[in-house]
Amino acid sequence: MRRSTRKSGSAAAPVSSSPGVSDLFRSATSKAVSKEMERVDQLFHTYVDKSLGMVGPEGIESFCSEIGVHHTDVRILMLAWKMKAEKQGYFTLEEWRRGLMALHADTIIKIKKRMPDLEREVTRPTNFLDFYAYSFRYCLTEKQKNIDVESACALLTVVLGFRFPLQVEKFTEYLNRQQDYKVINMDQWMSFLRFCNEINFPSLDNYDADLAWPLILDNFVEWMREQ
């Protein structure tokens, strides 16, 4: 007689229909995120311009007043960078969500608390390079590729002045005095950051005009040496 391969008395293991710990955790996390986004959306609608469907200049000024930061403060530009905002002076709902959800800040109090963390994030070398490039693009109007000298000087003071105060002070002084350049392009903008990081200042003893520096920086160095 052929033996059965099934052992006598053995029973199949019961299949549990109750949710596992990981499922419960995912469910709780999803609910928490949903609630957080709901509060972020409520905050957005506090400042939204209903005719535009986005937060406009007036809403941003009100928001800045609530968090105790002037609307021209570099931290607002940092927040725009975190949101990946595309148009200066305007935040869409998608941008607002992107920035505040990343900061886990769904109330004014939390936003205030997260601002120092945002500053530290931006000032990391790799992030700062991206932020510096973003600040130029953010200030461009539609179809514009350059920034006028006056605006560039103001932007440099806000974005770079706290890191390289002497370089920014002298470069903006030069820009305001010279007559050759009416606008600044992206290459010149990015090269000035490289200049600040690499060139001894104010001695300029390691500046080599034969290297690939824009002419505007050659002229700036020549002007500095004549002072």
pLDDT at 10: 46
Cis peptide upstream of residue 202 (ω within 30 degrees of 0): yes
Mean pLDDT of 21-50: 80
Report d(CA 94, CA 32) in Å as an integer. 19
CA torsion sign for 165, 167, 169, 171 is negative
- pLDDT tens digits, residue range 184-214? 999 999 999 999 999 999 999 999 999 999 9
- pLDDT tens digits, residue range 168-179? 999 999 999 999
Domains of the chain plus CATH, in order, are 30-122 (1.10.238.10), 126-226 (1.10.238.200)
- pLDDT tens digits, residue range 91-108? 999 999 999 999 999 999
Report d(CA 96, CA 74) in Å as an integer. 18
pLDDT at 142: 79
In one-letter notation, the amino acid at residue 177 is R
Q: Which residue has the tokens 């900061």?
A: 103
- DSSP secondary structure code for residue 50 in this structure: T
Q: What is the pTM of this model?
A: 0.84
Residue 180, Cβ density class (10 Å: 0-12 exposed, 13-18 middle, ≥19 buried): exposed
Mean pLDDT of 149-175: 97
Report d(CA 154, CA 139) in Å as an integer. 11
Report d(CA 71, CA 198) in Å as an integer. 31
CB-CB contact of 204 with 224 (8 Å): yes
